[in-house]
Structure 1
Amino acid sequence: MSTEPGTTGRLSTEQAVRAMLLTLPRLVGRIKRTPVPEPLRSANLAPRHMSLLLHLMFDGPTPVKDLAARLEVAPTTVSLMVSDLGRHGVVERRADPKDRRRTIVTLTEDPATRVAVDAWLAHGARAWQKVFDGLSPTERATFVRAIQLYEAEVAGQDDPEPTEPTAADRA
């Protein structure tokens, strides 16, 4: 049975493993080669910045400690990334009005920079949207769960917490 894109039907475990092991490195390579828009090039953005920016886009202003937990890095690492991105006007940090000891990170309000960040991240989002639109809610949930389980297995963790489906996922 073929394991090329567009394959339908059934795959043995061995065929699925082969397909994923051949596909994932290509996927990661393509993500790493996603060109950074001109207005952001001076910031020397890397894939690790993409993850941080995606969290801010999806979740809005977020405390440094929460970003560190989501990115699975030390808060000092996030602080360094935020400082670097802040110097280039990509993100802003401010004290939490409810607890002045906490630092909240947000995407910049500068429209040109926000458009550049959106452009950098939108390609991947459009690709996932197209792929997931072609799947049933059950297929989407199965795929997401499989990727989460794979990540946990590679990291040597126990079963990850399942991601709660949104209303759109159940549609």
Structure 2
Amino acid sequence: MTGHARHEAGKGDVDSAVRELLLLMPRMAGRVKRIPVPEVLQSQSLAPRHLSLLSYLLLDGPMTVNDLAARLEVAPTTVSLMVGDLSGKGILDRREDPSDRRRRIVAIAPEQHDAIAAWLAPGAEAWRRVLTPLSPAQRRLFVDTLHAYEAAVAEERER
């Protein structure tokens, strides 16, 4: 995109900004798709929610199924099914919570941690690099805008 087109989009012309984003989004998606998936995960047919689950565990460490469900905004039974599937494949570990034996703590299996970190960490680092210079209000606006876009796309598909 030329500097002129970016300049126009920055001046508040919504159509120019839409054009710029329509060109940018497929490039971003293409770059993400070209990140090599670790060999252990290549045959697993992972859905985006699996990637989100793995990202939370990588960035925030082990947590309960209920904590994961709250973060993923899905039912605990959905997370339990995903965790059961990924545990059976050796990708995740489930262990008893020492403070409450009825609860299970979910973590990335130690033997898979390095491969998953090598796969997901560069994206997290890129987001950190571009979000760090922004003020907290600007970061919130950016994230809220992406949420609103995702909701609007879902709404358009339902029409």
Unaligned runs of 5+ in 2: none
Are positions 1:2 and 2:1 aligned together? no
Aligned pair 1:45/2:46, yes or no?
A: yes
Other-structure match for 1:136:
134
Q: Hey, what does 2:115 align to over in structure 1?
A: 116
Q: Which residue of 1 aligns with 2:32?
A: 31
Q: CA deviation at 1:8?
A: 7.8
Match of 1:55 in 2: 56
Give the fraction of aligned pairs with identical amino acids, expressed as a percent.
Answer: 52
1-side partners of 2:81 and 2:23: how far apart?
Answer: 34
Preserved CA contact (<8 Å) 1:35 1:120: yes
Deviation at residue 149 of structure 1 after TM alignment = 3.7
Q: C-alpha displacement at 1:45, in angstroms?
A: 3.3
CA RMSD of aligned residues (A): 2.8
For 1:119-170, what per-residue CA distance to the aligned partner results, in whole angstroms no more than 9, with x for missing partners? 110221232233235x3325434323322343455567xxxxxxxxxxxxxx
With the length of structure 2 as denominator, give the TM-score of the two structures: 0.74
Report matched runs for 1:34-113 at 5 Å. 34-110=35-111, 113=112
1:146 and 2:145 correspond: yes
Cα distance change of structure 1 residues 86 and 7 upon mapping to structure 2, 3 Å threshold:
farther
Q: Which runs of 5+ in 1 are unaligned?
A: 157-171
> For residue 56 of structure 2, what is the amino acid of its counterpart?
H
State TM-score, norm by structure 1: 0.70
Distance 1:153 1:8, change over 3 A: closer
What is the rounded CA distance, in whole Å, between the counterparts of 1:90 and 1:81 in structure 2? 11
Contact 1:36–1:45 under 8 Å retained in 2: no
Mapped to 1, the partners of 2:31 and 2:80 lie a distance apart of: 28
Per-residue CA distance 1:83-124 (angstroms, 9 max, x = gap): 1211222211122223322222111122xx111000110221
Residues 1:119 and 1:17: Cα distance change in structure 2 (over 3 Å): same
Task: Please say if residues 9 and 20 of structure 2, whose CA atoms lie closer than 8 Å, have aligned partners that are also in contact.
Answer: no
Residue of structure 2 in register with 1:168 after alignment: none
CA distance in structure 2 between the aligned counterparts of 1:116 and 1:85, rounded to whole angstroms: 15
d(CA) in 1 for partners of 2:9 and 2:130? 14
CA contact (8 A) 1:95 1:102 kept: yes
The farther-off stretch of 115-124 and 71-80 is 71-80
Cα contact 2:10–2:17 (8 A) shared by 1: no
State how far apart, in whole Å, the 2-side matches of 1:27 and 1:101 are.
42
Q: Kindly provide the CA deviation profile for residues 61-80 of structure 1, in whole angstroms up to 9, marking residues without a partner as x.
A: 11112212221222222122
8 A Cα contact 1:32 1:47, kept in partner = no
